[in-house]
Chains A and B, each alone.
Chain A
Amino acid sequence: MAKSVLVLGGGIAGIQAATDLAEMGIPVHLVEKKPALGGKMAQLDKTFPTNDCSTCILAPKISDCYNHENVTTYTYSELKNLKGTSGNFTATIEQKPRYVNVDLCTGCTECVENCPVTVDDVFNQGIDQRKAVYKYQDQAVPNVVNIDPENCLMLTKGVCGLCSKNCDKGAINYDQEPETFDLDVASVVFAAGYDAFEGNIVSEYGYVNYENVITSLEYERYLSASGPTGGHIVRPSDGKEAKKIAFLHCAGSRDIRSDTNYCSSVCCMYSIKQSIITKEHSKEADLDMYFMDIRAFGKGFERYYNMAEDTKGINFKRNRIAEVEKDQNSDQIIIKSLDQDDNIEQENYDLVILSVGLKPNQEVSEMMKTLKIRVNKYGFAAVDEVNPLKTSREGVFACGVITGPKDIPESVIQASGSAVLAADKAYQEKSETKEKETSKKTNQEDQYRFVDNERIKTGVFVCDCGTNIAGVVDVPKVSKKAEKLPFVEHAEEVRYLCSSDGQELISKRIEEKGLNRIVVASCTPRTHEPLFKKAVARAGLNPYLMVMTNIRDQDSWVHREEQEKATQKAFDLIKGAAAKARKAHSLKREKIEKIDNAFVIGGGISGMTSALQLADLGFKTYLIEKEKELGGNANKLLLTMDGKPMVNYIKDMKRKVKNHPNIKIYNNHSVDKIEGYVGNYTFNLKSNIDNSKEELEGGVVIVATGANELKTDEYLADKNKKVISQLDLEEMLKDNNTFEDIDNISMIQCVGSREEGREYCSRICCTQAVNNAIFIKKRNPDIEIKIFYREMRTYGLYEDKYRKARELGINFIRYEVEDKPEVKEDKTKNKLTISYQEPVTGKEITETTDLLVLAKAITPGNSNEKFSKALKVPLNEDEFFLEAHVKLRPVDFATDGVFLTGLAHGPKNLGESIAQSQAAASRAASVLAKDYLLTEAMISTVNSDICSACGTCEDVCAFKAIEVNYDKGTAEVNTVLCKGCGNCAAVCRSHAVELEGFSSNQLLDEMSALFSDRKANNIKTGGQEDE
């Protein structure tokens, strides 16, 4: 048996880690402190840089995780102790009392409406109120309520009990006690998240005294359409629309007045996002962004920043804040600031938003210390650049903001990476486990009753949901009418269909009455379909013969005052569902054989890391490198970003890769041809030495093809030997070079980055330059170093390095892209001069420099286009590979079975590449660890008799799942790749493509039933009558 893994934290990082582990077949215990899953991301309105709706992309992830058969979720629970060692931990968990029986609670919130106590709503950052019995958020998973023991009258004073009286399920239990229990786990993933800074972190900004100064997280709730103001941007003081708004960047971050003076990494971007969204809400809004540097260092960020800069009404001000005070005569806030020439500016604002940063949760930090997990001086879990996901305690891994400030994709990457490391500890006698599971599943699927030759007998079950539905909809009338519908054998009103009694009833009726189609009219299929499918399956009926319709969330709850019409609507919906069910087929998720080997393209650090990880899990891995030498760009590096020597690390890694029995290295090889799809890829390799060929088979592909340093002649690069790149410098420094003959060094940043044609930040150069400068300065303090930069992007904890460099006397000189430093050489080429404008005095200065080091841009790899075509995966506009989703699927491609890591994805440093490569291995392992691949059941099918092989379906499929087979003259669906969106069915001119579960027949019959009251003779009455 695979042992279990404990995942601590149910935010996006924890959810990703838990899901990945579960997909690898490992039992997961997911522990979340709050009453519902989702973490901070659930509180966000939109996400940068795509303005994706946060809930839209998060909610499906939550439900996948929560409903996964291998995941057990404990909400409102905390880790109390962790005993034992890696492979054999005992975790003590305490579950706090909700005072609600979660098995009985239906989330109807009848109790909430009747609760007399109101307190500030924590989820909404205290902007509005909730009751003492409350649902943590509207879309809470699990969908149950909680009683807040500090404010509940019954629990504090022993009087009231209204919630209990109003709960006809009897779910309220005032006597619940905390429960403590132990879990045996092999490894632990810490994904315990962070806290946003308090608004008063810099007292001078007036958060405490002025109502119209709010934090960015509070503002996020204002922007949210489901937030307390319904997405209206108003002043807290009087609820009037806020027109003039200031964003104070770095509120508490990079500020010596606070203890958290690192860079919080995400605030620049989320502030830009908030500014863009604000402009979408209100075109006239006038926004001032007060900032130091805009750190738009991630993939797609620079374009996003440029877009904001080009937006009228979003003004970026590189001013320092002098004073924040309230206007005596109005509710406005006055900000006095110093511009770059030290002139005082003064402006009035309706609303001031503090771009607060991220800090470790103090309790979590303390707990880590007691559990012997080392934390750094800020309280984040201490990790190493080359082991970015390992904590100091063996078997305990960390991901997300717990190891330092980072954005969502980065957290997701780390989460997947930690999952594979945790899995490595959990796998024991893996093959045995898998066989058992397989046999179990096979049996169940084959047991479904064969119904195709039966007369259609539909069972309709209408749920009262207590009074939630029955209080508005006349359920007895509806179910009685439903009995008379065509092909309906049985219709029944049930008080709570989702209760175990209700589910049993469905199973019983199926057997009793020989039902072969089921209609469930209750709440939303988004949350409850899996439950009812299981109930149907238990009675031996194929679960796809069940159709659900939503008469609560989309009927009784939204038409409370119009009971007659709501009843009519409920009946219509049931008619529609019954008609749809009639045309439903038995469907099955097919099993597809697969090959357990992995391909890794690229033998740099990224490729080697992925290969090692997969090989350690027991998967045969082919590592393909076009050069003779493994190691790629990392061979040139002197130091890791945290300042440790690289040489030994690389040597060690190469040795491990070469000696690993599961890795076969194909260096000096290029890929000739790639065929196949997930589970079944064939690679044709060609040796670059003797042109010999080899054909290999594998199930997954990891693209780790790396990137290049920019080739340029700007600033006399490649023309004068005194002009070198940062990579060249690192090579020079390796030979104990003390630069005896050098007095001064100049470094120029952003060479080829962040300008036309290359509208992205190369991310690593600022930290690299600062690191190298510090290294030189320590070796030889007499050397004068100047760094010419546009924005200093030493994000996250690298800010410490920047501060250190300043302390060491390294000069930082800012330049504008329109006014770059000018570099000249004399005729002998021995003297190099650099001219620039001194930013403080504005004087033009020309001076000689002994060495000029350029931070050259990272440019996409030469083979990107080739592999993009061969693997049918896209590139972005900068020609780096484009992942399936920039926020939540950062190592996946839309095409299943192909994964992405390292510089091929975009500029990033060593530690980030390593984490991403572990993540890619994790995602790949979740495919390989299964015994077979399962197709979706509701996918497209092609009727080859009608198909004209026109190829329109092929053009619109985002997943490359349908292709024309010209030999057979018909389109064919790749059932493994099809996701069931139905786009192909919609474009098919001859209706040859059908989407199972949503076939044209089904939809037409559904519509026909929905509008069956609209008979020709009835048209003029508007037809509300049906009998």
Chain B
Amino acid sequence: MNENNEFEPKIAAFLCTWCSYAAADLAGSSRIQYPPNIRVVRVPCTGRMDPFLIIKAFNMGADGILVSGCHPGDCHFLDGNLYARRRFVMLNEMMQYAGVEAERMNFTWCSASEGKRFAGVVEDAVENVKKVGPWQGFDGQGFSQEEGETTVEKV
């Protein structure tokens, strides 16, 4: 919490290397300021985004997620972003059914020249998540994890 006791969310931001990560870099080189609430996880393409990674992000304590890829047609891998979109449409509904507010799930596109837009996207995502408050876990009882533990290994 900050001095004003205002809730500062922590958001997992999954950015594709070729467009959105580049947009975030451009926001930097243009010195466009945005809230420091995101933690970027770089992926080669939003097509890499297994819905399970998003569910896990919530399990691990992210208050919200932001996934940003290339605009349709710009995908470095031709159509990975479109597959991602399909997955998110499904996942979004499922997550809402599981009690995750829509405000926590932020999907968007940012091209490599949209540094300003990227900053705006982050601002919006932070606003959205602030509206719904801290994430209390899927069962509303918080969440538990131990550092370094991964579930996949155990599967």
Contact = CB atoms under 8 A, between A and B. Distances in A.
Interface of A: 45, 50-57, 59-60, 107, 109, 138-139, 224-226, 230-231, 486, 524-526, 550, 552-555, 557-562, 565-566, 568-569, 572-573, 576, 579, 582, 884, 894, 938, 956, 958-959, 979-983, 985-987, 991, 995, 998, 1000-1001, 1003-1017, 1019-1024
Most buried by A among B31, B44, B57, B62: B44
Most buried by A among B18, B19, B25, B40: B25
Interface in B60-83: 60-62, 70-71, 73-74, 76-80, 83
16 contacts: A59-B112, A225-B115, A226-B113, A231-B114, A553-B28, A569-B39, A958-B78, A982-B43, A987-B50, A1001-B152, A1007-B53, A1007-B56, A1012-B147, A1016-B141, A1016-B143, A1024-B2
Given A552-B28, A560-B33, A1008-B147, 10 more contacts: A53-B111, A54-B113, A55-B22, A56-B74, A524-B21, A550-B25, A998-B44, A1000-B53, A1012-B145, A1024-B2
B36 A524 contact: no
A52 B75 CA distance: 9
Contact of B80 (A139, A554, A983): A983
A622 to B, nearest CB: 29
Most buried by A among B43, B112, B151: B112
A57 B45 contact: no
Contacts of B31: 557-558, 560
A1022 B28 contact: no
A506 to B, nearest CB: 21
Given A226-B26, A576-B39, A56 B112 contact: yes
B147 A53 contact: no
Contacts of A559: 33-36
A548 to B, nearest CB: 9
B50 A985 contact: yes
B17 A1016 contact: no
B48 A991 contact: no
A53 B112 contact: yes
B42 A557 contact: no
Contacts of B79: 958
A555 B1 CA distance: 20
A561 B33 contact: yes
Interface string B131-155: 0001111000111110111111101
Contact of B148 (A107, A1008, A1023): A1008
Most buried by A among B7, B21, B29, B48: B29
Given A60-B76, A1007-B57, A1024 B50 contact: no
B47 A986 contact: yes
A56 B77 contact: no
Contacts of A550: 25, 40
A243 to B, nearest CB: 22
| Interface residues of chain B: helix, strand, loop or mixed (majority) | loop
Interface of B: 1-2, 7-10, 12, 17-19, 21-22, 24-36, 39-45, 47-50, 52-53, 56-57, 60-62, 70-71, 73-74, 76-80, 83-84, 87, 111-117, 119, 134-137, 141-145, 147-153, 155
A186 B20 CA distance: 41
B73 A226 contact: no
Contact of B30 (A45, A56, A138, A1012): A138
A124 B77 CA distance: 30
Given A1011-B39, A1024-B8, A225 B30 contact: no
B48 A998 contact: yes
Given A1000-B152, A1003-B41, A1003-B43, A558 B73 contact: no
A568 B153 CA distance: 29
Nearest to A557: B28
B74 A52 contact: yes
A565 to B, nearest CB: 4
Given A225-B113, A566-B36, A1000-B152, A1009 B147 contact: yes
Given A1000-B53, A1004-B53, A57 B74 contact: yes
B48 A995 contact: yes
B60 A1019 contact: no
A783 to B, nearest CB: 49
B148 to A, nearest CB: 6
Nearest to A569: B36
A1007 B12 contact: yes
A938 B44 contact: yes
Nearest to B16: A981
Contacts of B84: 986
A56 B111 contact: yes
A51 B7 CA distance: 40
Given A980-B44, A1008-B60, A565 B116 contact: no
A138 B142 contact: no
